[in-house]
């Protein structure tokens, strides 16, 4: 029987960071709780935040369940996460600058050439192009889980366009509105500085040809996209324009947006569309979402694209296993946050081990996301495991496996009252002239009893995440 | 050889379009086999966009034309001094790792027939002899036949009908080389046709294969040779689309038609 680390209780006592919440929880009558839960849901519906987290698809109008019980970190605990996440974000960017430059890490034999250069996410069009400040991934979402008081593991990195930050902001907003007293009684670090930090980060990577105050836009695929709400929300909070491909055009050396007062030059594009669709002249010719000629402007220094095309080569699940190596190679430091031990099914020895131990392992597709196409061994029947084994044997290079981690739990409101449920965490690290991390992130919670899958498509919800002031 | 290029591409639109964006790879590559004496590209009513040298060593120049416009002329004129290096791309500065050119594209996918043909040549390992065998096989199995294929014809389709133009032959060579684990890329350029008519297609295309001891080496199945001083190299890519000397998109509903006039002549020294 696996024991799970409960973030609130240890040996029957309440752990420090959760001290205040113990009273709060005990003093809340069931009726009040139900009323508040209904109020929270109504608020979420009203602001229209109903999209699926992390582009998981599914019903775009479905509300992600919000759990009112906050997840709390002490200043000390956060200090380590802060250093660890920033370290990772720096190393990932150094890796991108290297593989699109001289490729020292490959030459040094620290990562296999094919894993990088034959990766679907590697863009040869970006080779030799040094973006402003040498930054490729400006918003790095690092997915973390906790297994003990001091044990954190990184599950994966998201270097392209990690979503979900609007939940971090809205969860806090709604908690503050519903429980103002909690925020008076606890000294909680604010997260509402995020939009301003994001705007400053984007402004700091304005291209060399920009003169004056950089004009920033968010480029969205459109309102049918599941994260459209987040795109418009961030544009609003940053005070920048939200545009679609058809609102932008290239003329001469620059990109312009159409406005009622005529064309206006754009210096920084925070794009929330995939590489393939950015520019039909350079990538997919059939794309209607992008801006023809954008890549030539980018590559000649006329505009910044955040994240840089090709940034995805740093975050696939096979490259992930080399991030600790990147930290040592580029920063000369030891990783502060651990990777989960990972078996690569592409390696015959690893594959053999995985097939023999499927019952104990979690198996994921290398390019998969959203909790689809994955096997959680301990939760599967013999028949399911056998079926999955055939898929691995057919395409071993498509799969990696990890041990089933004993994800920590935090108290969560459930029908029967309060019960421990498993959680993960995604902080959002900003990389520009400086590396910044807002104290907080998005906590996802597996609402089904015993479930270790926190994805919203698989019955997950979200929580406000507190970092207590030191 | 001293070669002068005079190349005009005329785009006509059935209805005026609101604007045109183009990306050019129309400047001769810089390597030991080519020295540019003079070179000029102009676009009628065009506004010059950004310019940069990409990771593959090609000089890319962007252009935009503001509409309404119903005709655009892209003119290239210049003189290049060429040297025969037996196809070897010596002294070419580039940064894209050769492995990137193992990637197939829809038109260069090796179907069963192309795979069989490649496997039969026993080319794995990628020596010079192996590369020549592959190029000869392409020339033997896909007969140069103008008008037999379209721009979207795949390598597999060309092999199936046994006919094609230089584009199809180059695509087939790429498919077979990559199948054998040899990085290979599409090269676009110009060719000076000799007096006796044995060489064809002044706007030409061939393939380059990456060989361990030599680096990138050109192979032209259409003419059963390696590029020499009659060839002018412009740029490269994963296939014809990727390596196109002119890529463009027009904003508007007008149907596009294209007319090309090209002369590659040898100057008196």
Chain A neighbors of B49, CB-CB under 8 A:
250-253, 293, 296-297, 300
Taking an 8 Å cut-off on Cβ atoms, the answer to whether A249 and B19 are in contact is: yes
Best of A210, A252, A291 to mutate (most B CBs within 10 Å, chain B): A252
Same domain, B46 and B153: no
Last residue of a domain, one of A386, A403, A420: A403
Cβ contacts of A302 on chain B, cutoff 8 Å:
50
- Same domain flag for B217 and B98: yes
The verdict on residue A1 lying in a domain is no
| pLDDT surpassing 90 at residue B193 | no
Neighbouring residues of A31: CB distance < 8 A, sequence distance ≥ 6: none
Residues A48 and A165 in one domain: yes
pLDDT tens string A303-351: 999 999 999 999 988 899 999 999 999 999 999 999 999 998 989 999 9
pLDDT (mean) for A36-44: 86
Q: How many domains does chain A have?
A: 2
- The pLDDT value recorded for residue B252 is 86
Please indicate whether, in this complex, the C-beta atoms of B62 and A250 are within 8 angstroms of each other. yes
Q: Both B55 and B187 in a single domain?
A: no
Averaged pLDDT score across all residues of chain A: 91
Higher pLDDT, A378 or A47: A378
Instruction: Please indicate, yes or no, whether residues B77 and B89 belong to a single structural domain of this protein.
Output: no
What pLDDT does B269 receive?
60
CB proximity A250 to B under 8 Å: yes
Domain span including residue B26:
2-81+246-266
Angle between helices B166-179 and B112-120 (to 10 degrees): 70
Percent above pLDDT 90 for chain B: 89
Residues of chain A neighbouring B181 (CB-CB closer than 8 A): none
Lowest mean pLDDT among A260-274, A376-390, B231-245: A376-390
Residues of A in contact with B99 (CB under 8 A): 113-114, 117-118
> Given pLDDT bands bounded at 50, 70 and 90, which one contains residue A211?
confident
Q: Three-state DSSP class for B211?
A: strand
Same domain, B71 and B88: no
When pLDDT is cut at 50, 70 and 90, the band that residue A293 belongs to is very high
Task: Show which of A360, A383, A403 is a domain's final residue.
Answer: A403
Examine the domain organization and report whether B185 and B99 are in the same domain.
yes
B contacts of A258 (beta carbons < 8 Å):
none
Task: Please give the DSSP secondary-structure letter assigned to residue B111.
Answer: -
What is the nearest CA distance from B199 to chain A, expressed in angstroms? 32
- A328 close contact with B: CB closer than 8 A: no
Indicate which CATH number applies to the domain containing B140.
3.10.620.30
- pLDDT at position A61: 57
What's the rounded Cα separation, in Å, for the pair A85 and A435? 10
Any idea what the CATH number is for the domain that residue A349 is in? 3.30.1490.270
3-state secondary structure chain A: CCCCCECCEECCEECHHHHHHHHHHHCCCHHHHHHHHHHHHHHHHHHCCCCCHHHCCCCCCCCCCEEEEEEEECHHHHHHHHHHHHHHHHHHHHHHHHHCCCCHHHHCCCCCHHHHHCCCCCCHHHCCCCCHHHCCCCEEEEEEEEEECCEEEEEEEECCCCCCHHHHHHHHHHHHHHCHHHHHHCCECCCCCHHHHHHHHHHHCCCCCCCCCCCEEEECCCCCCCCHHHHHHHHHHHCCEEECHHHEEEECCEEEECCCCCCEEECEEEECCCHHHCCCCCCCCCCCCCCCCHHHHHHCCCCEEECCCCHHHHCCCCHHHHHHHHHHHHHCCCCCCEECCCEECCCHHHHHHHHHCHHHEEEEECCCCCCCCCEEHHHCCHHHHHHHHHHHHHCHHHEEEEECCCCCEEEEEECCEEEEEEEEEECEEEECCCEEECCCCEEEEECCCCCCCCCHHHCEEEEEEEEECC
Pick A281's closest partner by Cβ from B19, B50, B247: B247
What's the gap between Cα B114 and its chain centre?
21
* Residue A311 and residue A365 in one domain: no
- Please tell me which of the candidates A117, A128, A129 has its beta carbon nearest to residue B99: A117
Q: Is A405 exposed, middle or buried (0-12, 13-18, 19+ CB in 10 A)?
A: buried
Calculate ∠ Cα A18-A19-A21, nearest 5°. Answer: 65
Is B94's pLDDT higher than 90?
yes
Instruction: Quote the minimal CA–CA distance from B269 to chain A in Å.
Output: 37
List pLDDT tens digits, range A122-177: 999 999 998 999 999 999 999 999 999 999 999 999 999 998 999 999 999 999 99
A chain contacts of residue B241, beta-carbon cutoff 8 Å? 285
A4 located within any domain: no
Instruction: Flag whether pLDDT at A114 surpasses 70.
Output: yes
Q: Say what the pLDDT of residue A51 is.
A: 54
Radius of gyration, alpha carbons of chain A: 22
Tally of domains in chain B = 2
Strand, helix or coil at B256?
strand
Q: Is A293 on the interface with B (CB under 8 A)?
A: yes
> Which pLDDT score is estimated for A59?
55
Pair (A272, A348) in one structural domain? no
Please check whether residues B138 and B166 belong to one and the same domain.
yes
Of A103, A126, A296, the CB nearest to B97: A103
What are B45-68's pLDDT values in tens digits?
Answer: 999 999 999 999 999 999 999 989
- The interface predicted TM-score of the complex, written ipTM, equals 0.94
Query: Is the same domain home to B230 and B253?
Result: no
Q: How many Å apart are CA A244 and CA A291, to the nearest integer?
A: 9
What number of other Cβ atoms are within 10 A of residue A26's Cβ? 8
Same-domain pairing of B220 and B157: yes
Q: What is the model's pLDDT at position B237?
A: 97
Asked if A410 contacts A421 with a C-beta cutoff of 8 angstroms, the reply is: yes
Is the confidence at residue B120, as pLDDT, over 80? yes
Of A54-58, A179-183, A417-421, A464-468, the least confident: A54-58
**Residue A176 has what pLDDT?**
95
Nearest to B64 among A113, A127, A251 (CB): A251
Residue A118 shares a structural domain with residue A189: yes
Same domain, B255 and B220: no
Residues A122 and A259 in one domain: yes
Return the structure tokens found at A316: 């696939």
Quick check: A297 and B49 CB within 8 A? Answer: yes
Please check whether residues B194 and B104 belong to one and the same domain: yes
Query: Are the CB atoms for A418 and A25 separated by under 8 Å?
Result: yes
pLDDT of residue B201: 62
Number of CB pairs < 8 Å for A and B? Answer: 95
Whether the predicted pLDDT of A285 surpasses 80: no
Inform me whether the pLDDT recorded for A1 exceeds 90. Answer: no
Residues B64, A281: C-beta atoms closer than 8 Å: no
For the record, the structure tokens of A386 come out as 């056998």
Q: Which of A118, A124, A285 sits opposite B55 (nearest CB)?
A: A124
Share of chain A above pLDDT 90, in %: 69
The pLDDT of residue A55 is above 60: no
CA A439 to chain centre: 15
Q: What are the pLDDT digits (tens) for B140-185?
A: 999 999 999 999 999 999 999 999 999 999 999 999 999 999 999 9
Check whether residue A286 and residue A352 sit in a common domain.
Answer: no
Given an 8 Å threshold on Cβ–Cβ distance, is A281 in contact with B248? yes
Q: CA angle at residue B61 from B1 to A208, to 5 degrees?
A: 135
Query: Does residue A30 form part of some domain?
Result: yes
Last residue in a domain, options A403, A428, A446:
A403
Same domain assignment for residues B154 and B112: yes
| pLDDT of residue A398 exceeding 90 | no
Six token digits for residue A25: 């929880």
For residue A335, give how far its alpha carbon lies from the nearest alpha carbon of chain B (Å): 29
At A236-278, the pLDDT tens digits run 999 999 999 999 999 999 999 999 999 999 999 999 999 888 9
Residues 6+ apart with CB under 8 A from A60: A50, A51, A52, A226
**In chain B, which among 81-100 make CB contacts under 8 A with chain A?**
95-97, 99-100
Between A289 and B120, the higher pLDDT residue = B120
B47, A251: Cβ pair inside 8 Å? yes
- Mean pLDDT for A364-379 is 76
Mean pLDDT over residues A166-195, rounded?
Answer: 94
Contact flag A251-B248 (C-beta cutoff 8 Å): no
Residue A50 has pLDDT above 60, yes or no: no
Q: Is residue B195 scored above 70 in pLDDT?
A: no
> Which CATH number goes with the domain that contains B33?
2.60.40.2250
Nearest residue of A to residue B243 by CA position?
A: A282
Q: Are residues A295 and A358 in the same domain?
A: no
Range of the domain at A390: 344-403
User: Which H or E run contains B138?
Assistant: helix B128-141
Share of chain A above pLDDT 70, in %: 95
Asked if the Cβ–Cβ distance from B60 to A296 is below 8 Å, we say: yes
Note whether B95 contacts A127, CB cutoff 8 Å.
yes
One domain for residues A290 and A185: yes
Q: Does pLDDT of A58 surpass 60?
A: no
> Are residues A423 and A353 part of one domain?
no
């Amino acid at each position: 029987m696996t024991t799970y680390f409960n973030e609130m209780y240890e040996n029957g006592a309440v752990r420090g960071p959760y001290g205040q919440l113990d009273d709060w929880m005990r003093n809340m009558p069931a009726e009040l709780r139900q009323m508040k839960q209904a109020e929270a849901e109504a608020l979420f519906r009203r602001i229209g935040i109903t999209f699926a987290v992390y582009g998981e698809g599914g019903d775009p109008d479905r509300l992600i369940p919000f759990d009112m019980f906050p997840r709390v970190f002490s200043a000390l605990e956060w200090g380590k996460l802060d250093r660890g996440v920033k370290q990772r974000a720096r190393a990932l960017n150094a890796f991108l600058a290297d593989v699109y430059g001289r490729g020292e890490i490959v030459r040094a034999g620290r990562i296999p050439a094919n894993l990088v250069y034959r990766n679907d996410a590697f863009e040869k069009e970006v080779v030799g192009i040094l973006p402003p400040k040498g930054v490729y991934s400006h918003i790095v979402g690092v997915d973390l889980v906790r297994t003990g008081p001091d044990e954190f593991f990184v599950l994966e990195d998201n270097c392209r366009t990690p979503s979900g930050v609007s939940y971090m902001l809205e969860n806090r907003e709604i908690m503050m509105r519903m429980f103002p007293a909690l925020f008076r009684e606890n000294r909680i670090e604010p997260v509402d500085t995020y939009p301003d930090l994001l705007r400053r980060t984007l402004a700091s990577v304005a291209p060399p040809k920009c003169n004056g105050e950089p004009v920033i836009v968010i480029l969205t695929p459109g309102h049918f996209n599941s994260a459209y709400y987040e795109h418009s929300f961030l544009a609003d909070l940053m005070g920048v324009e939200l545009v679609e491909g058809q609102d932008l055009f290239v003329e001469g050396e620059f990109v312009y947006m159409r406005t009622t007062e005529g064309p206006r030059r754009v210096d920084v594009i925070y794009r929330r569309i995939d590489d393939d669709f950015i520019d039909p002249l350079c990538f997919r010719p059939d794309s209607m979402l992008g801006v023809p000629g954008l890549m030539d402007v980018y590559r000649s220094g006329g505009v910044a694209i955040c994240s840089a095309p090709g940034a995805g080569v740093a975050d696939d699940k096979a490259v992930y296993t080399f991030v600790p190596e990147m930290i040592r190679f580029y920063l000369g430091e030891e990783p502060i946050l651990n990777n989960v031990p990972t078996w690569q099914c592409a390696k015959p020895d690893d594959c053999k081990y995985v097939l023999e131990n499927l019952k104990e392992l979690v198996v994921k597709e290398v390019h998969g996301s959203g909790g689809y196409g994955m096997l959680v061994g301990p939760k599967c029947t013999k028949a399911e495991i056998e079926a999955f084994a055939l898929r691995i044997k057919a395409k071993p290079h498509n799969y990696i496996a990890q041990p089933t981690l004993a994800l920590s739990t935090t108290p969560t409101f459930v029908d029967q009252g309060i019960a421990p449920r498993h959680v993960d965490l995604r902080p959002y690290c900003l990389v520009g002239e400086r590396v910044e991390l807002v104290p907080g992130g998005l906590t996802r919670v597996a609402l089904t009893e015993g479930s270790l899958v926190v994805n919203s498509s698989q019955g997950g919800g979200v929580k406000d995440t507190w970092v207590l002031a030191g | 050889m001293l070669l002068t290029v005079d190349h005009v591409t005329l785009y006509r639109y059935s209805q005026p379009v609101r604007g045109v964006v183009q990306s050019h790879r129309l400047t001769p590559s810089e390597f030991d086999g080519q020295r540019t004496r003079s070179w000029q590209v102009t676009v009628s009513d065009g506004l010059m966009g950004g310019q940069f040298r990409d990771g593959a060593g090609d000089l890319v120049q962007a252009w935009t034309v503001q509409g309404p416009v119903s005709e655009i002329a892209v003119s290239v004129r210049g003189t290049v001094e060429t040297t025969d290096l037996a196809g070897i791309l010596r002294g070419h500065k580039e940064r894209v790792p050769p492995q990137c050119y193992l990637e197939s594209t829809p038109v260069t996918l090796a179907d069963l027939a192309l795979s069989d043909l490649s496997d039969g040549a026993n080319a794995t390992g990628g020596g010079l002899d192996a590369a020549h065998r592959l190029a000869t096989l392409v020339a033997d199995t896909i007969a140069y036949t103008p008008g037999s294929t379209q721009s979207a014809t795949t390598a597999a389709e060309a092999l199936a009908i046994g006919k094609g133009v230089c584009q199809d032959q180059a695509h087939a060579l790429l498919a077979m080389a990559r199948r054998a684990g040899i990085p290979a890329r599409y090269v676009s350029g110009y060719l000076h046709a000799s007096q006796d008519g044995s060489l064809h297609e002044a706007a030409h295309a061939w393939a380059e294969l990456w060989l361990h001891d030599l680096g990138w080496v050109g192979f032209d199945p259409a003419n059963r040779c390696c590029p020499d001083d009659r060839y002018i190299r412009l740029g490269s890519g994963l296939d014809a689309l990727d390596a196109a000397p002119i890529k463009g998109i027009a904003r508007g509903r007008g149907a596009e038609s294209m007319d090309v006039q090209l002369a590659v002549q040898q100057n008196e020294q």
